[in-house]
Amino acid sequence: MTRITSLQVTDVRFATSLFLDGSDAMNPDPDYSAAYLVISTDAGDGLTGTGLVFTIGRGNDVQVAAIRRVAEHLLTSDVEDLLADMGATSRSLVYDSQLRWLGPEKGVMHMAIGAVINALWDLKAKRAGLPLWDLLGRMSPEELVELVDFRYFGDVLTRDEALDILRAAEPGRDERRERLLADGYPAYTTTPGWLGYDDAKLERLAKEAVADGFQQIKLKVGLDLDDDRRRLKIARDAVGPDVAIAIDANQRWEVDEAVAWVDTLAEFDLAWVEEPTNPDDLLAHAEIARAIAPIPVATGEHMANRVMAKQFLQADAVQVLQMDATRVAGVNENLAILLLAAKFGVRVCPHAGGVGLCELVQHLSMFDFVAVSGTTDGRMIEFVDHLHEHFVTPAVVTGGRYRSPLAAGSGAEMLAASVVGNTWTPE
Amino acid sequence: MTRITSLQVTDVRFATSLFLDGSDAMNPDPDYSAAYLVISTDAGDGLTGTGLVFTIGRGNDVQVAAIRRVAEHLLTSDVEDLLADMGATSRSLVYDSQLRWLGPEKGVMHMAIGAVINALWDLKAKRAGLPLWDLLGRMSPEELVELVDFRYFGDVLTRDEALDILRAAEPGRDERRERLLADGYPAYTTTPGWLGYDDAKLERLAKEAVADGFQQIKLKVGLDLDDDRRRLKIARDAVGPDVAIAIDANQRWEVDEAVAWVDTLAEFDLAWVEEPTNPDDLLAHAEIARAIAPIPVATGEHMANRVMAKQFLQADAVQVLQMDATRVAGVNENLAILLLAAKFGVRVCPHAGGVGLCELVQHLSMFDFVAVSGTTDGRMIEFVDHLHEHFVTPAVVTGGRYRSPLAAGSGAEMLAASVVGNTWTPE
């Protein structure tokens, strides 16, 4: 029997608000942070499982407390059992009825479950000597559906349908793996577009993005329409007509306001409109999507769980699904979301602005390409060039593409000095 | 200037799982608990503001940590300012952008905001020498709309419409206040119906409920159809044809399963079907509601916020809205929900099975009768006869009706011995 010998949960914070990195219409001064979990065992292999939740500062200590409480569930278990049946492990955490009351399946407790599940996946991938995307991409359709919680999916996606999707993607897995290893996965960059940057910085970074090979950039909008027009013109002039520009309102608008605002900005040829309004409001997103079509609506970084994802897809409220690696209950729930997206034929372009989100979510998109949707058409992963230096195997983006990680694990592991050096303790 | 001199947040737990009180199809063994906040000031009046979040055990410590973090926001403020403009105070907490990331507006952080807001309302009511329902019921329509956050309501309820609703209810306020004081507010009881009780206890408690004057009881269902049929027959025989019986599945079913299950139980004349499936799934609730009509669908105890309430109403997914005093961000957000319900003409029958929920939510229903909907038609507040003895001014239900509280405050204040005697500290 393998036991967990320690659970370390650390409150890691970076003072990003000093430079307005990450600033947008709803989040003027985020301090990018992570509640960071390290699981050690007595297996004698020296391997740890690492997971994290990305937050933007205050409250990261509450997230730490939540991860600690969830992770305690594992202390009496055999690690071999936990890793052997990750579907059962995930369900045992999600359906702890007392903890579930605090969501259910949303917010701090749900993200805590995600950190714990992801830490176990990190450990499992390290033990297998494979990067997570490749570990998942080598599992059979039958093994993969066992990871998914189909509860509340009866009206939309059954286990059999999920199996069909995964089986349809089996031919060509090897070829796609080779293509990934050779060419990587498309990326777009948000680095030029933070709302707190001045025009000169926007222009410079937009030109750099094109020079770096990105085919799409993203601008934060929604605070002032005149500013948005001016900034979009600067960006469009900087990148030229062939590079796509998406905009992101970070939940700033009412329905009518969103439609009118987008109408005024449409001349700049918008790749998508992201988070136009409250992220729970699928009916509002559906109304906005109908009104601004063919410009697609993108959302997902605050999508609380697979049941919300299901409804956004049912209601045609989202055309670009922005899966987030640490918002939901980990790899298992994101697999459910990838299957839903495949069922509805909606493209997935993950959210990755944050601490470790690029490192984590690239594995899910690459796995999706290998074994679920089988395509990168219209798909790309967000890239933001912040804070990667704190990770043991930072995401590598060159020529506008994520290079497939080769190191074993999920990518979540941080440098010891980065954890210790940025540890924050409430008063 | 009045300053806050202490913020005490206590992890209070009761071992209710020993007796299967509160047991249902999703929550087999809850330990009813409260994360309990007491705010003291240097005003010299000896008054405290108390608020709480009801939980069912594990994770109550995380809720405590969250309340502490939110309450800290108040430490630099003048209490007079906070209480004078509760709308602004509420918005300042809900829109703290760093904390908001952890929801947004859902789960542990959002409930923590509710506890803090409600504690301030408790203090404000005590200072006014009025029970909360009466304090709110004496505010003008213009004052009341200032409490409401209309953001994301643009498509459904404007400030002007809310004002119209409140002004329409102004005539007759005094008469309804007198009726409340004389007759109280209708109640129904869930006490007989917990899933862990045996048939004899169900029968005995159902008969007692009728003898006590209740016009409706509620049974937990959803684990086993044969058991449910047997238990409903026992209950129907015990209460006779004239007392209503509602059923509560506590999120147990898929859509098809809910429709088939309810079809099999419909012969027992169901007052409503509560939480048939996942509480985020408004599209599923709408489908179930269409299929089982005219039996109404009830939900709300896990409705994360006013944006979810709005959508359930827009989609005809709920016919009985079960407002909860501690699930959302306090009195202010529940006022928004009451206004939405009034706009849609949907009745509100609050959830109140838990620690302090009866004590708190009665004020909101009574205020609704006085100043919002102006009616009790089809409306009643849940009553569960557990744990009231721990409160300074316990809810009083006689003859099947809540008696209007006369003591100043919100009803949240617990006895000192109950707090100290049930304090739990994580190892």
Tell me the CA end-to-end span of chain B in Å, nearest whole number: 39
Q: Do B58 and A96 touch (CB under 8 A)?
A: yes
Q: Nearest CA to B73 among B103, B94, B51?
A: B94
- The ipTM of this complex is 0.97
Tokens of B295: 């039996």
Contact between B274 and B322 under an 8 Å Cβ cutoff? The reply is yes
pLDDT at A11 over 70: yes
CATH number of the domain where residue A35 is located: 3.30.390.10
Tokens of B110: 């959002």
Rg (CA), chain A: 20
Cα–Cα distance, A92 to A84 (Å, whole number): 14
Q: Do A29 and B97 touch (CB under 8 A)?
A: yes
Q: How far is A406 from chain B (nearest CA, A)?
A: 32
Cα–Cα distance, B31 to A66 (Å, whole number): 18
Cα–Cα distance, B156 to B134 (Å, whole number): 28
Q: Is position B423 within any domain?
A: no
CA distances to A23, A275, A333 from A285, in Å: 23, 8, 22
Using a pLDDT cut of 70, give the percent of chain B over it. 100
Domain residues for A339? Answer: 173-418
Q: Are A179 and A125 members of one domain?
A: no
Q: According to the model, what pLDDT value does residue A25 have?
A: 77
Q: Which residues of chain B are within 8 Å of residue A305 when distances are taken between CB atoms?
A: 280
The pairing of beta strand A4-13 with beta strand A33-41? antiparallel
Mutate to test the interface with A, among B102, B195, B310, B340 (most CBs of A within 10 A): B102
Decide which of A66, A97, A130 is a domain's last residue: A130
Residue of B63, B101, B426 with shortest CB distance to A55: B101
Q: Are A186 and A289 members of one domain?
A: yes
Decide which of A104, A130, A156 is a domain's last residue: A130
Contact between A19 and A384 under an 8 Å Cβ cutoff? The reply is no
Q: According to the model, what pLDDT value does residue A307 have?
A: 98
B19 band by pLDDT with thresholds 50, 70 and 90: confident
Q: Is position B244 within any domain?
A: yes
Q: Are A125 and A181 members of one domain?
A: no
Q: Are A183 and A235 members of one domain?
A: yes
The pairing of beta strand B4-13 with beta strand A244-248? unpaired
Decide which of A130, A155, A181 is a domain's last residue: A130
Q: Mark B180-212 as b/e (b = at least 16 C-beta within 10 Å).
A: beeebbbbbbbbbbbbebeeeebbebbbbbbeb
The pairing of beta strand B347-348 with beta strand A244-248? unpaired
Q: Which residues of chain A are within 8 Å of residue B97 when distances are taken between CB atoms?
A: 26-30, 56
Q: Are A185 and A121 members of one domain?
A: no
pLDDT at B253 over 70: yes
DSSP structural state of residue A324: -
Cα–Cα distance, B303 to B312 (Å, whole number): 9
pLDDT at A20 over 90: no
Contact between A414 and A391 under an 8 Å Cβ cutoff? The reply is yes
User: Which tens digits make up the pLDDT trace of B49-79?
Assistant: 999 999 999 999 999 999 999 999 899 999 9
Cα–Cα distance, A244 to A262 (Å, whole number): 16
Residue of B57, B106, B255 with shortest CB distance to A304: B106
Q: Do A102 and B282 touch (CB under 8 A)?
A: no
Residue of B61, B251, B305 with shortest CB distance to A280: B305
The pairing of beta strand B33-41 with beta strand B320-321? unpaired
Q: Are A305 and A226 members of one domain?
A: yes
- Would you say how long chain B is, in residues? 427
Q: Is position B301 within any domain?
A: yes
Query: Helix, strand, coil: what percent of chain A each, to 5?
Result: 45, 15, 40
Region of poorest pLDDT, from A82-91, A279-288, B41-50, B418-427: B418-427
Tokens of B416: 């000192």
Q: Which residues of chain B are within 8 Å of residue A61 when distances are taken between CB atoms?
A: 65, 69
Contact between A5 and A74 under an 8 Å Cβ cutoff? The reply is no
Q: Which chain A residue has the Cα nearest residue B30?
A: A98
Q: Do B29 and A97 touch (CB under 8 A)?
A: yes
Q: According to the model, what pLDDT value does residue B195 have?
A: 87
Q: Is position A369 within any domain?
A: yes
Q: Are A106 and A216 members of one domain?
A: no
CATH number of the domain where residue B253 is located: 3.20.20.120
User: Which tens digits make up the pLDDT trace of A320-371?
Assistant: 999 999 999 999 999 999 999 999 999 999 999 899 999 999 999 999 999 9
- Global pTM exceeds 0.95: yes
pLDDT at A427 over 80: no
Q: How far is A175 from chain B (nearest CA, A)?
A: 39
Q: Mark A281-304 as b/e (b = at least 16 C-beta within 10 Å).
A: bbbbbbbbbebbeebbbbbbbbbb
Q: Nearest CA to B127 among B330, B363, B408?
A: B408
Rg (CA), chain B: 20
Contact between A350 and A324 under an 8 Å Cβ cutoff? The reply is yes
Residue of B30, B102, B278 with shortest CB distance to A152: B278
Q: Which residues of chain A are within 8 Å of residue B279 when distances are taken between CB atoms?
A: 104
Report how many domains make up chain B: 1
DSSP structural state of residue B415: P
Residues 6+ apart with CB under 8 A from B159: B145, B148, B150
Q: Is position A215 within any domain?
A: yes
Task: Mark out the alpha helices in B72-140 (DSSP H runs).
Answer: 79-84, 86-94, 97-100, 107-128, 132-137
Q: How far is B315 from chain A (nearest CA, A)?
A: 9
Q: Are A197 and A248 members of one domain?
A: yes
Q: Do A106 and B314 touch (CB under 8 A)?
A: no
Q: Do B66 and A62 touch (CB under 8 A)?
A: yes
Residue of A56, A102, A108 with shortest CB distance to B55: A102
Q: According to the model, what pLDDT value does residue B25 have?
A: 77
The pairing of beta strand B185-193 with beta strand B381-383? parallel
List active site positions of B.
220, 351
Mutate to test the interface with B, among A20, A67, A108 (most CBs of B within 10 A): A108
Q: Nearest CA to B28 among A260, A101, A171?
A: A101
Q: Is position A424 within any domain?
A: no
User: Which tens digits make up the pLDDT trace of B105-122?
Assistant: 999 999 999 999 999 999
List active site positions of A.
220, 351
Q: Mark A205-240 as b/e (b = at least 16 C-beta within 10 Å).
A: bbbbbbebebbbbbbbbbbeeeebeebbebbbebbe
Q: Do A58 and B96 touch (CB under 8 A)?
A: yes
Cα–Cα distance, A348 to A300 (Å, whole number): 9
Question: How many C-alpha atoms does A324 have within 13 Å on its Cβ side?
Answer: 25
Tokens of A341: 């997206």
Q: According to the model, what pLDDT value does residue B427 have?
A: 61
Tell me the CA end-to-end span of chain A in Å, nearest whole number: 40
CB atoms within 10 A of CB B321: 24
Task: Please give the backbone phi and psi of residue B69, each rounded to the nearest 5 degrees, phi first.
Answer: -65, -45
CA distances to A280, A329, A380 from B279, in Å: 13, 17, 32
DSSP structural state of residue B138: T
Label residue A104 exposed, middle or buried (CB < 10 Å: 0-12, 13-18, 19+): buried
Q: Nearest CA to B383 among B339, B351, B337, B341?
A: B351
Q: Are A122 and A180 members of one domain?
A: no
Mutate to test the interface with A, among B101, B333, B424 (most CBs of A within 10 A): B101
Distance of CA B5 to the CA centre of its chain: 29
Q: Which residues of chain B are within 8 Å of residue A71 when distances are taken between CB atoms?
A: none
pLDDT at B27 over 90: no
Residue of A26, A282, A305 with shortest CB distance to B311: A282
Task: Please give the backbone phi and psi of residue A131, each rounded to the nearest 5 degrees, phi first.
Answer: -65, 150
Q: Is position B195 within any domain?
A: yes
Mean pLDDT of chain B: 96
Residues 6+ apart with CB under 8 A from B211: none
Read off the amino acid at residue A284: A
Q: Is position A187 within any domain?
A: yes
Read off the amino acid at residue B123: L
